[in-house]
Structure 1
């Protein structure tokens, strides 16, 4: 672990980490893959805006309106710079990553549910979808990157296909899943269960050969690794604020500008329009075309503050810190009897999420004992990735996920807790 990365100093910025739980237990928070904790700087930025600057954005001509609009658009600038977006206008604020994924899925196959049943002259052929066309996802996806594509297939008659997962928890690229019929490939950049960081380059290369678009669900990667959307070369990237020190209620879709130009609006209402008549409307340029109604103003500003915090800490330093934590966890968990790791057992192309089972003990029991007796917060269940658990023949796992504020001592506490759980059920 880098000496320059002062985790104890960072922990002081997170008030909840010093909280005493009922019974005098200290909190050990190992559930950041679910939702991260928030530093005081983010909380105070949001409080101060609500208290002193709040107004609706893009509407009011008074001082508060101007201040609020400026702060909201400043947040867009910060997010764009954080992920290497070529243009700030390529950043669309949504309420979460699920909405961002749905927004893109909604853009396909519009002609099949227009009353006329005809293709509009300006419809981009890349977004047509119907019988014979194919959508490709993977077996390790979060439900947010499965269900929208199932719905698209159902309403257009397209075929949904997927990459399998190897026994080691890697994406299985051995088959010819992407074909000349593929229109869109959407996969996780990093698995929320396995911790696997998926190889983008070979998937993108094959997609480009057949003219398919590529989307990444980066909800588990953007908070933990340096991510440059331009360098990745994909078409769409979705991520969410609440996993990267920001508030809930704010997510991001990044997309190449020429695709945003071609895509139809997702929601209709105020602020996404250019002009409205009783019988038709024209739409505002992107990104505002996709931000109907009053947006999550303070949440976006909070996300901007979270980006400031992450950049000050240094994404390379955060990644190195989490890599050291993960190495420690993999070694320590390997010493727990009858523990089965679900996912890669080495540091190669993996992040700081470890999921496992204990033989003969249900994960719900594991999580309850860890919480009740040790104050250790982990997640149990299928983590909104049920098909992946079916792939491994298990109903659920226990998942520990690490972030910049975690320590090796907390991982050691987890291991001690797991030994205790096994004694309880011995």
Structure 2
């Protein structure tokens, strides 16, 4: 989903939301392996026990590459490797009570070219970062999603990052996030009302090992929110409206809105309009991060804010789907990098003015045979950001146009015949659509 979505998905949902729908508990076990140039390797596997009302799913994946020398082509290669695992389980205690949990871990190591500790210039160094992330969530759900339900959940996330230069420790950061949530919903005729309450606490810790603790940081912050959503399905249109209020202990409180309307025009043809607002807190590293001689954080940063909307027209049948979408977005208080030539230090700041993005996206998909699917997409983007001396300038690392063509054949001829969701589908989200959103 393009654009800001904080009203439904909270802080940091400022540019868009991707819903990842994993395989169900009845999916068959699977293993895969890949290899490529520059020493690239990837392998993964998954499986499950039980099914339906009582199941356990698990998976593991590894990936790595020798990499290339990104500095001048004559130095050492900078590679990476990652290892990840996940586990989820659910158990229906009765027809109206369900409990479960999920967790995952990630461990990674990345090599890169940093800065010389003597000249402070970009150099072919032996820098590397070692990262770990672990997260888990427990939930209990009671009721019927089609009538009345209540969900209580709690989650914990912990991450750490250690930086080395030629295997000598430089500094490390770590953080934890604890979240508790309570959500309830009721369906009355064609209307659905959902109320969700969330509380979140974060802690950040930075320690250096090369500068005798001069850069040590101990920070914490908290946030609470309340979200009310109304969703309705009339004969002539579907509508959704959500409002969320966030209370921050470090920043000014914020209220965000989101609204959607989808109207059928003819058999298989419908039009949709969406408006959304977003907010994103500065990261702990933006606020307090520190690399001696190169980077220092800015504790005076303000949260980023955005708003935007889109209009789309789409067609869908059993064998084909097409969508055409136009969108427009505005971003203010954008957090950007700065550099002081007097101190040779980089930092962060809120940019003056607004970043602007507008674009058009089109997608089509056609299944001429049960086992064959053809498709393609086109995207045009005009993105600009404010510049102190020249006004609006083209935003870097944003492609102006993109064209994709694809085909897919099912070897066993078991294709369902249902085309994939088009880019402009704009399906109206709901707080109840992703109970595993953590």
Could you say whether these structures have the same fold, taking a TM-score greater than 0.5 normalized by the shorter chain as the test?
no
Query: Relative CO higher for 1 or 2, CA cutoff 8 Å, sep ≥ 6?
Result: 1
> TM-score under structure 2 normalisation?
0.20
Larger Rg: 2
- Normalized per residue, which structure has more helix? 1
> TM-score under structure 1 normalisation?
0.20
